[in-house]
Amino acid sequence: MAERQKERVYSEEEIRERLARELPKWTYENGWIRRKYKTHSWKGTLMVINAVGHLAEAAFHHPDITASYAWVEVRLMNHAAKGITDKDFALAKKIEEVIHWQPAKEGQGLEGTPNSDQRFAYIKYD
């Protein structure tokens, strides 16, 4: 079995610079990169949690998640490396891409969830 190569852990300054450049809605705090997603309801909150859970399991890199009625906070840190690594940035980018996907803006036939109708409102896009 091949020996695992030690992953590069980014410094706080490098993390903040990379977040500003690549993931401007994410922040760095207490050793974690984090993002709070606002939803319209518990239904939207559960959908965000499940989407993040699917991505994390597929990536085999698992975030901490805190949730309430109308928000979900995702926190990433590589526990094995004891810091922020490329895995954290890669998963954060994929989460951001999926959670904030707005099909109507792509003009490919999918209209997206109608946020103007509270029966269907899902995520609060920022």
Closest CA to 34 of 14, 11, 15, 53: 15
Closest CA to 52 of 2, 99, 118: 99
User: Would you state the pLDDT for residue 2?
Assistant: 47
Edge-to-edge strand list for the sheet holding 27-29: 27-29, 32-38, 71-76, 64-68
Global model pTM greater than 0.85: yes
pLDDT in tens, 49-87: 999 999 999 999 999 999 999 999 999 999 999 999 999
**62's tokens:** 């698992």
For 91, residues 6+ apart whose C-beta sits below 8 A from its C-beta are: 55, 56, 59, 61, 63, 76
